[in-house]
A and B are shown apart, each in its own frame.
Chain A
Amino acid sequence: MLEVAGLTFHYEDMTMVFDLKVARGECLALLGPSGAGKSTLLSLIAGFETPSSGRVEIEGRDVTNLSPAERPVTSLFQEHNLFAHLTVTENVGLGLDPGLHLGPAERAAVEEALQRVELTGMGGRLPAQLSGGQRQRVALARSLVRQKPLLLLDEPFSALDPGLRGGMLDLVDQLRRERGLTVVIVSHNPQDAQHIAARTAFLYEGRVVAQGETQAVLSAGEPAALRAFLGNAPRQVSEG
């Protein structure tokens, strides 16, 4: 569904080359230490950065030269997902029409999406009146109304409490099953990968150095960079 081939990007004096494949309806976790290029890879897939060579294919279509809005992709960032001066409804409505011209059908769609993320009746509030978890759920609701098949999550829940984070990951997992979404999630926490992702790719210094089933990757104990990344975590990882 998503294929990244020889995607090359230069940042300062670091050269990154990425290769990656994700099947339809799958959830892939991108793990790695900071500076490994996880967010850069996500930005390249979303189209915020321009690669110097290589290509990105989504659903068999080469999207390397398309602008972010033209790609069948929705991104969720760690912060600043919402416009602070717009209400919840307006923030979600932007996913349907970037001019906010919303008819009855669109308003119903917004309402339904809010219901799905358990924010019924919160449409009139401003982001400042919501908790951190609620804000990310508004952003999730917007990604639902956009109906793009690929969802990219850049550490969207790392600022939340562990309990809340688990709930949010569960919600993402449910939505993925319901709507047949393909999800790529960046995290620096192996537990997130165990929680939600069947497959995991480990990034180190701008390369994908390990890729496969999450349990297998996490318990393989190599390469050395992965061992260092996991630190003292037990080899036999139990269900987190």
Chain B
Amino acid sequence: MPWWLPASLSLSVVGLLVGGALLALGLTAGGLALADNLGQPYLWRVVWFTLWQAALSTLLSVAFAIPLARALSRRRFPGRGLLLRIFSLSLVVPVIVAIFGIVAVHGRRGWVNEALEAFGFSGVHYLYGLGGILIGHCFLNMPFVARILLQALDTVPPESWRVASQYGLRSRDLFRLIEWPAMRTVLPGVAGLVFMLCFTSFAVVLTLGGGPKATTLEVAVYQALRFDFDLGRAVTLALVQLVCCGGIVLAVLHLSLPGNLSLTEGRAYPRPDRAGWPGRLADSAMIGGAMIFVLLPLAAVVLAGFNAKAASVLTDPALWRALGQSLTIAMASAVLALLLGAALLISSRSLRHRLLRPAAANRLELSASLILVVPPFVLATGLFVMLRHVTDVFALAMPLVILVNALMALPFVVRFLGGPMMAEAQKHDRLCQSLGLAGWNRLRLIEWPSLRRPIALALAVAATLSLGDLGVIALFGSQDFATLPLLLYQAMGGFRMAEAAVIAAVLSLLCLLLFLSIEYGLGRMRFRRRVRHA
């Protein structure tokens, strides 16, 4: 099999879907009236706000994550492992559940205001508008950024700390000479990802934006399709988003620096900057603040779930039907995303290890991330327009949601599976080549045993993302077809907060169970005996 075949198949599927959807929409709209749409001041206001909030969100997330990662790298305390685990999972917390928790803590009648009033202050309303969007985006992204930066700090060879202790480097020297160079290798990539996620953010802006003043391109596309059915405007907005966001992300990633290989004896040396009370105090404040910021909304979700409405919501068949449909969508789109992602990585691995073209391999892997720039609504609507003559919307809704969710999960599969696949090849590729281990034998005997865990993790992440997604379902949802995130959104939109609380609790529990059962079930599965008696 030629090295380029798997990626070509995978990328053609993606390219045909995206290109076909855009084309179908453009044609149906009877021309885009591009000049007309581009001339509207409304559009440029939306573009400006989208850029502004994405830049601010990224900046704030990174600005808090850097000192937080330093503090976490310096300190050991009970529960640190659990906190880090929560941090790395924050990316798969259903956005709409996070929003519910944020509203419960920061909303007009949330915990913060209750506490203020209990002490005799008057309440403050800061949640809706730009403030709300920033809180939401920081909540969702900051822990993830901190986790990645901490990982980068963990790759600093322990011998560096030994040298630093010997020469008496101060905390700020350590930052400048050791920590910053380590973080800088991953920062452009992670900042680019966060920027892209915030630029294309939908649920946060829809629920916390609080009005037409705070609208992003993604929400504007949704509104153009859902309320005005203005296909031309939707495609124009989508193209603007593609150009702006794609360009900016490519530029940021261009700054990416390759990580350097580190040599280490594998022994641990303590960091020299752990003593001293000002440092201890600052680190405690940093870690404590982050814990309050991240854990309170999650606690609110858990606590609010136990309320008087629980019985009636839990016995509602609509909830259970939505649960079943959510699980079907999650599993189907996760498997699809895994197949697309693995195909892409097989090719990029050949590029990297056999043809020695790591830059080309990077570009190939990056191409998967660019799908995040395409508004899922445009994708789904375009495909719907294309297929509506073949069958009706009721038959199409579920497959379309599965397909679009799979595409949106693709970058995460590539991210979680890419590293382990490359590491596996680095260790085993030549040995496999020299022994003639290829195809099915290699998959069965070598790849599956060593990649089982990362595969399970990638699958779990994709499934959980899809399970908690409030995206195209908002466009295609109906009485008969709903997912748990949609039910939650509708309950919040109707200010049925007690009901919403129960759904949020059910959805988070389901996400957790699904994630753990895939990760542990598949990841720890024992494999059968390998030697066959011929």
- A residues bordering B, Cβ < 8 Å? 43, 46-48, 67-70, 73-75, 77, 80-81, 83-86, 89-90, 93-95, 97-103, 106, 146
Determine how close the nearest CB of chain A comes to the CB of B217; give it in whole angstroms: 43
B436 nearest in chain A by CB position: A69
- A89 cross-chain contacts in B, Cβ below 8 A: 531
B449 touches A85 (CB 8 A): yes
Proximity bits, B429-468, A CB within 8 Å = 1, else 0: 0110111111011101110011000000000000000000
Q: How far is the CB of A52 from chain B (nearest CB, A)?
A: 13
B254 at the interface (CB under 8 A from A): no
Interface pair B446/A75, CB less than 8 Å apart: no
Residues of A near B437 (CB, < 8 A) are 69, 94, 98
Q: Are B430 and A99 neighbours in the complex by a CB distance under 8 Å?
A: no
User: B428 at the A/B interface (Cβ < 8 Å)?
Assistant: yes
Count residues of chain B with CB under 8 A from any CB of chain A: 23
Determine which of A74, A75, A98, A101 lies in contact with B534 in the assembled complex, contact meaning CB atoms within 8 Å: A101
Name B's A-contacting residues (CB within 8 A): 427-428, 430-431, 433-438, 440-442, 444-446, 449-450, 530-534
Which A residues are CB-close (under 8 A) to B431? 77, 80-81, 83
Contacts of A43 in B (CB 8 A): 430
Say yes or no: A46-B441 contact (C-beta < 8 A), given A89-B531, A101-B534.
no
Given contacts A68-B433, A80-B427, A83-B446, contact A98 B531 (CB under 8 A): no
Q: Is there contact, CB below 8 Å, between A75 and B434? A: yes
Q: Find chain B residues with CB under 8 A from A75 CB.
A: 430, 434
B533 touches A86 (CB 8 A): no
Contact A103 B533 (CB under 8 A): yes
Nearest-neighbour CB distance to chain B for A97, whole angstroms, equals 8
Q: Can you name 12 A-B residue pairings with CB atoms under 8 Å? A: A47-B433, A48-B433, A69-B434, A74-B434, A80-B428, A86-B445, A90-B530, A95-B435, A99-B532, A101-B534, A102-B532, A103-B533
How far, in Å, is A227 (CB) from chain B's closest CB?
29
Instruction: Give bound CA distance, A46 to B431, whole Å.
Output: 11
Residue from B442, B444, B531 with most neighbouring chain A CB atoms (10 Å): B531
Residue of B nearest to A71 (CB): B434
Task: Considering the complex, give the chain A residue whose CB is closest to the CB of B433.
Answer: A68
- Within 8 Å CB of B438, what residues of A? 69, 98
Q: Which residues of A contact B444 (CB under 8 A)?
A: 99
Give the 4 A-B CB pairs with smallest separation, nearest first. A69-B436, A101-B534, A68-B433, A85-B449
Given contacts A99-B441, A103-B533, A103-B534, contact A68 B450 (CB under 8 A): no
CB distance from B112 to the nearest CB of A (A): 51
A84: nearest chain-B partner, CB-CB: B450
User: Per a CB cutoff under 8 Å, which of A73, A83, A85, A102 touches B434?
Assistant: A73
Residues of A within 8 A of B450 (CB): 83-85
Determine whether the beta carbon of B435 is less than 8 Å from that of A98: yes
- B436 cross-chain contacts in A, Cβ below 8 A: 68-70, 98
Bound complex: CA A101 to CA B532 (Å): 5
Q: How far is the CA of A93 from the CA of B440 in the complex (A)?
A: 17
Q: Which of A48, A85, A102, A146 contacts B531 (CB 8 A)?
A: A102
Chain B residue numbers with a CB within 8 Å of A69 are 433-438
Residue of A81, A84, A90, A102 touching B533 (CB-CB under 8 A): A102
B445 surroundings in chain A (CB, below 8 A): 83, 86, 94, 98-100
Are A77 and B430 within 8 A (Cβ)? yes
Alpha-carbon distance between A143 and B68 when the two chains are bound, in angstroms: 52
Give Cα distance in the complex from A95 to B437, angstroms.
10
